Structure 1
């Protein structure tokens, strides 16, 4: 019985993209299971066909950029789309001999994959990072800590278990307690705290 190479190819691609989605959107574990089943099933079928395994490696390498993108900056995430080129080459060379995947399947598949990543996964990743940043900002404003390197007008402070770059209107020597009054990106606005003010546990300052 002849196995349609286009269906095997689509099964592998869908499985890989479901796996990528699971990395971007953590949830119930169902996408991970579905990805495993599709990839494992496709690889098993490929072992029964005249497969060019170097092409399979190229496709997997092409996907690796998408897998690590959530752990890097959004700009790096956009560069991950270069991996679509490797996927295209791997798709064209997937089988040895006369057997091949139709370009009429490869081209639309890659275009859909590009749009899926650019217009769905990347915005989701940005939203998640913004929410995480806002949650951290809510926790840090009003927190107290201590000066690690003297602030005049910029220095380093230790707040909520982390070192931050800090700015203050007044010079504050190292070791002094501070109060976080605002945040601009990764820089905190601070002022000298009164010693009688209660300090958050874990800020590294004890009266």
Structure 2
């Protein structure tokens, strides 16, 4: 803010405000030690830049440099006396009134009286980016996206999981471009998701799911390369998000695959049963038979979503079906 104020053609402040404390800090809010060469480089560069700006505008360059090196501040009245600003005004109308006839150092004269005042607000894109600069929100969107896509894998057809998961994942990727991230953290999160998916197809009694959750948690805490706890990812967000979504996903998948993990039934118990195609069978897809979802392959004419099918036989965990014609 001090840099912007000193760079303006006309510097103004309102009573009750202050300016200064322009010592450089890093993104995380922390400052390197003074003996650190990086800290000295940052301070020297900022001090030289603000002095050049102040000299260009004919303002107090010594005070400007001290504001960077010593973090000194000044009230509105003090800033006016020190030659840091030109005007003290408590409102925009008062500011415009005091600037009427004001002559700039380059010879131009201001006549703002009677001119319309237009306020410029943040655009929708700017507001979106400001929200996505929060690592907690980006993390929640990332988890919702990944879990939504996992749910879609086990759900026949294209539904809520793909829509919500896809949108959440894209927004999360947008936020990850703004924030400093650790590639190892992303790798651990993706690996944890992979383990949870594999556990749905292999009889490990939850070992892969447990490993997946552990990998998710470790990856979550190492995802963002931000050391400050003020703006970093909260552990409460990690535990609540991973725990809640994992419980929901395990419940849904276990219910959806419970029937297919039952002991094999005799062929006569399935052959001849009718059901409904829950997606286009061209030739493979999902069918619903007696309230249970099955992966199926259609023989003969492909069946479309909603068509009635009849079971011909069962091969492993897959049903062989054909389109059922009424009257046959």
When residues 21 and 135 of structure 1 are mapped into structure 2, their CA distance, relative to the original with a 3 A threshold, is farther
C-alpha separation in 1, matches of 2:195 and 2:157:
21
Higher relative helix content:
1
Aligned: 1:65 with 2:195 = yes
* Residues 138 and 53 of structure 1, relative CA distance in 2, 3 Å threshold: same
Deviations 1:3-28 (A, max 9, x none): 21110000000111111111122233
List per-residue Cα deviations over 1:91-129 (Å, max 9, x = no partner).
111111335210111112222133223333223221355
Residues 81 and 123 of structure 1: CA distance in aligned 2, closer, same or farther (over 3 Å): farther
Name the residue aligned to 1:109: 241
| Number of residue pairs the alignment of both structures matches | 141
Other-structure match for 1:118: 250
Partners of 1:20 and 1:66 within 8 A in 2: no
Q: Runs ≥4 in structure 1, deviation > 4 angstroms?
A: 128-131, 133-137
1:53 is aligned to 2:183? yes
Q: TM-score, normalised by structure 1?
A: 0.57
Let me know the Cα RMSD of the aligned residues: 3.0
Separation of aligned partners in 1, 2:240 and 2:247: 11
Give the Cα separation in 1 of the matches to 2:251 and 2:165. Answer: 21
- Distance across 2 between alignment mates of 1:118 and 1:30: 17
Q: Which residue number in structure 2 is paired with residue 138 of structure 1?
A: 269
Q: 1:18 to 1:140 in 2, by over 3 A?
A: same
Pair 1:25-2:155 in alignment:
yes
- Partner SS, residue 18 of structure 1: helix
Equivalent in the alignment of 1:92? 221
Asked whether the equivalents of residues 23 and 67 of structure 1 are also in contact (C-alpha less than 8 Å), the reply is: no
Which ranges in structure 1 are unaligned for 5 or more consecutive residues? Answer: 142-184, 187-207
Rg larger for? 2
Distance 1:9 1:137, change over 3 A: farther
Cα 1:27/1:95, change in 2 over 3 Å:
same
Instruction: Quickly say closer, same or farther: Cα 1:137–1:74, change in 2 above 3 A.
Output: farther
Runs (5+) with no aligned partner, structure 2 = 1-129, 273-315, 318-328
The 1:109/1:30 distance shift into structure 2, 3 A limit, reads closer
Distance change (3 Å), C-alpha of 1:140 and 1:16: same
Aligned to 2:140: 10
**Kindly tell me: are residues 73 and 18 of structure 1, through their superposed partners in 2, closer, same or farther at Cα, counting changes over 3 Å?**
same
Distance in structure 2 (CA, Å) of the matches to 1:80 and 1:57 = 17
When residues 78 and 125 of structure 1 are mapped into structure 2, their CA distance, relative to the original with a 3 A threshold, is farther
